[in-house]
Structures are given as structure tokens and as C-alpha cells.
Chain A
Amino acid sequence: MKLIKKDIQHIANLARLDLSDQELDTYGKQLSDILGYIEQLQEVDTKGVEPTAQVTGLENSWREDEARAWDDSERVNAINQAPEIEDGQIKVGRVL
């Protein structure tokens, strides 16, 4: 699988990554190499094999959907990590 610059630019856009021209070049080559290696998975016969996403046999893990009180200092500390805060809330730019 050879990725050209346009592909890489497209992936970077999907991933919301601003990349320099040099980065686009480097990652293009490296990702092509890595995908080339991963091609070997196509040799494996997986007809009728179910995919595995988890391994311990858990099926559904239910809990009550209830509001729980959270430590107030932890809440304030979490909000204070934001780049802009106003009146104890995170301030963001206009979206609409």
C-alpha cells in the first residue's frame, strides 16, 4: 500500500492534525512501510472466525444510571485545566 501525499493530507485532516510539508513526506513513507508489513495479515485464513474485542468473557457490565456527588475540589481542579475559564465554566469560541 503506497500512500501519496494527497492521502496523507486527507488522513491528517480527518485526525485534526496540522502537519508540515516535511512531516507529510516522512509519515507518507513510514506509513507505507508499516502498512506493507501489515499486509502479511492477508495470508491468514479468517473465514468463519469471529473478531475479538475483549478477552475475559465479560458480556454486559451494568450499573445504575444515577447521578453521584463528586468531590468539589476535584471538579474545580478539573475545570481549572482549561485554557480559558469564566464564572467557573470553560469558555470556548463561537461554534455556530
Chain B
Amino acid sequence: MMLNKLTIKQAQEKLETGDISSVDLTRACLDRIKKVDDKVKACLTVCEKEALAEAKKADERRANGEKSGLLGIPYIAKDNIMTKDVRTTAASKILENYIAPFDATIIKKLRTAGAVLLGKSNLDEFAHGASTENSAFGATHNPWDLERVPGGSSGGSAAAVAADMCLFALGTDTGGSIRCPASFCGVTGLKPTYGLASRFGLIAMTSSTDVPGALAKTVEDAKIVMDAIVGIDKNDATTVNARELSSGCALKGKKIGIPKEYFNEGLDIDVKKLVMQAVEKYEKQGVEIIDVSLPHNKYSVGVYYIITPSEISSNLARFDGIRYGFSDKESKELIDIYKKSRGKGFGPEAKRRIMLGTYALSAGYFDAYYLKAQKVRTIIKEEFDRVLSEVDCVITPTSPHTAFKIGEQSSDPLKMYLEDIYVSGASLAGLPAISIPVGFSKGLPAGMQIIGKRFAESALYNIGSAFQNATDYHRQKPELK
């Protein structure tokens, strides 16, 4: 039995009956990492010794009668999430040797629950990207085809789950960074409602849309992880007491909206077919399918690439070569320390976004760019709210196509930004959205996105699980040749 292949749910049952220990499970994952990660390159740091010690502790806790959904379950965290005493780099040269002095709130919660941290996963530098090619430490490879990208920015986390290096992984999603790699790697990725889980200890990118979430093997597992990390946090004033909207379990009578703008030209024909087949499955199970329209979604990438770089230019101002991170030793004048440390420490995409944001916020341009974008954001949000008042959720493709080849579009930043066309809208509106595997095109996984009402994650779980109960796309594994 390959223990690393288990879902959280399956592992829990085996741990509960005493068939396996957390140490066995953790060792199986560490062995898998050793075996395949020189090809996949999902991990930036592996904490073997610490993980085995945590696993042993989890086994002791269980022996003392403790029970928790994640007790003894090994996971990997995206490397823009602070993990005490472990290197936390955000995949940037500027933080290459940074040791996090404290745990992010979500890491603390997982520690309390007894989950076992195996290591830290690769990402686009500071989570800026949709392919994980922007990592300062090299690209991650898609386990389904090593010549292709895993998506991004949580590409290391998605690839690690797809290759069974862990039972689940944490990611962050600002404009698609959990959902895009989930779809490219054939795993389940949940971006929760903004404010449901704390951002304290996440290396900030776009404070108004950043959320931490789960990459898992099933919808059921993603729910177990989310249940452990949500909650109000004094250290994050934007966390909200979740007034959970219950949706009822039965599919019959539910309404799913299909926004026509998400199925237009630009969408790969196979991906379209797979998503529509899934929609038909729902219809056969008694779900009412309703055509809806989100005409302003086409502006979401434009809005996103004003708001995001603007907030980045402000959030990344803290990297000044003075308090932490890379500092240019040759500079004597203060201004040169700033400029040289930042010029040498940041990679091209981080610089591009800092420049774009600085420009959008600079004197004379604020109204035309930032304020305008925030107003269009209002329209996008209200349009979603209106549609979601008539249906339980909307279903769209997650990405316009399956995984592309490494290097294929890395020289064209605008083309890369357009990867976010189906995913940035839910981020701007703060809505929960989940990507689940919906089939294969030429051997590569495709994903569908289910977007729900704010704080109605339960609807996504029910609707997503119903699909996974009726299909086995999520159970298929890459051969890793």
C-alpha cells in the first residue's frame, strides 16, 4: 500500500484503527519526495527531521485519546506562508536566507490540529504569476508532463499533491493562484471567501484579495483543511465571523448558472466540451441549468492588473535592505542601499509589477487608473451578486486551456496576465471558488470552476462532491515518466 497516495479521509480511518501511524505516513511522503522531486521540483525546503518529530508527537497525542481530522496528516505549505524557524523565501532572492520568526495563524492552527509540516513549496516569486516559472529558484514541472508548467502561482503545492508527495498542501490565491494550478495539475483547489481565513503571516501581495486556501485530492479533503484554518483572528482585522450559509445537501432543485461570456472564443474546444459534459451530468441529477450573463467579466483582468500591482508596489516597499532580506553590501548611501538591494534582490516580474503599481498610484494618474479600476471592480462585484441571487453557483472553465509548455509564453507578460481571465473576477468580488478535475485533453487534466455566494463554501462542497462521487477524474494519477 502506498500510504502517500491516501486521501486525508482514508488516512484518518487507518490512523484511527491503528493500521498505520503518522510516522509511517510521513515517511512514505518523504520517500516519495526523495524519489520524484528531482524531476518535479515542487519543494524549496524539506524538513525531514522536524516532520518525523512532529509525526511522532501526533502518534503520542492519538495514543492519549486525542482525535482531530488532521492529527498526524502530512502536508506542504507554499513558501510565502511564514513557518517558524523554517526558511521562508517567497521564491525570491531577496528572502533567500530568511528564517520566519513566527508562524502564520493558519500554520499555528494546523500545528494545534496536529498536522505535520513536510516542507515548503515553490511558487512564482511573491506569488506573481500563473506558471511558477517566475520562481528565483527555477520552475516547477507539471507531473502530468514534465515539459509543461504546473500553473501558478501555487504551482509547487499543486504539483506536490498531484504527485502524492503529501496528503494536502496550502496555497494562496490572489487572482487565481490556487485554482489555476489545481486545474493544470488535476487536483482540487479551494479559494475561500475573502476574510474567512487569516492572512496574518502570509507574505502580503494584494491585501484586498489575498486568501489562503487548500489544494487537496478531493473536495471532501479540501473541506477538512478549510474547517481547520478558518476563523476570526485579532491579527488580521479583515477576518470575518463566518455566518455560514447552509445550502442543503440534495442536488435536486439546485440552480447552476452558466455565464455565456466564459465560453466564448479563446476557450479551448476540448476544455469547453469537458466542462459542458459535467454540466450535463448535473442536469441529469435534477439540477436546473440557467443561462446567465456576466458582461463585465471581460474587464476583470484590466482591473486586476491595476489593483494588484498598486497594492504590490506598496506591500513590497518593506523590502528595503535594512531590516531583513538581501542587503547590498557595497552601497554606502542610504538611497543606494534601497535601490541596489531592491534592484538586485527582486526578479523581473516583481519589478514589473512594482513599476506598474508605482505608475498607477503616482501623481496625476491615480484617478485614471486606480480609482477607475476600483469603480469597475464595484460593477463586477454587483454583477456577480445579482447573478448569484438567482442561482446557487455558477460553473465556468478554470483556465482557457490545459497546461502550456515551460518557456512558451514567459517572454510575453500580457499574454501571461490573460491566463487569469476566468479566475480574477471571483477574487475581485471576494467570492469562494473551487476548481475540480473535469477530465483530460491529450493526457492533460482540465478543471472546472464553481463560484458561489460569499460565505457559502458549503454549496461548493456539496456540488463539487456530488461530481466527484459520480466520476473518477480526481482519482487518476500521473505516471511521472
List A residues at the B interface (Cβ < 8 Å).
Answer: 3, 8, 11-12, 14-19, 23, 27, 30-31, 33-35, 37-38, 40-42, 44, 46, 49-56, 58, 61, 63, 71, 74-75, 77-78, 81-83, 90, 92-93, 95
Contact = CB atoms under 8 A, between A and B. Distances in A.
Given A15-B358, A56-B454, A38 B302 contact: yes
Interface in B311-333: 313, 317, 320-325, 327, 329, 332-333
A17 B378 contact: no
A4 to B, nearest CB: 13
Contacts of A56: 193-195, 238, 240, 430, 454
Instruction: Tell me the dominant secondary structure on chain A's binding face.
Output: loop
Nearest to A26: B348
Contact of B334 (A33, A82, A93): A93
Given A31-B359, A37-B302, A63 B101 contact: no
B334 A18 contact: no
B321 A44 contact: no
Contact of B195 (A33, A49, A58, A63): A58
Contacts of B344: 18
B369 A38 contact: yes
Contacts, number: 161
Interface residues of B, number: 71
A94 to B, nearest CB: 8
A23 B323 CA distance: 27
A34 B413 contact: yes
Contacts of A92: 322, 334
B306 interface: yes
A49 B379 contact: yes
A16 B85 contact: no
A41 B355 contact: no
B414 A33 contact: yes
B102 A18 contact: no
B375 A83 contact: no
A41 B373 contact: yes
B378 A51 contact: yes
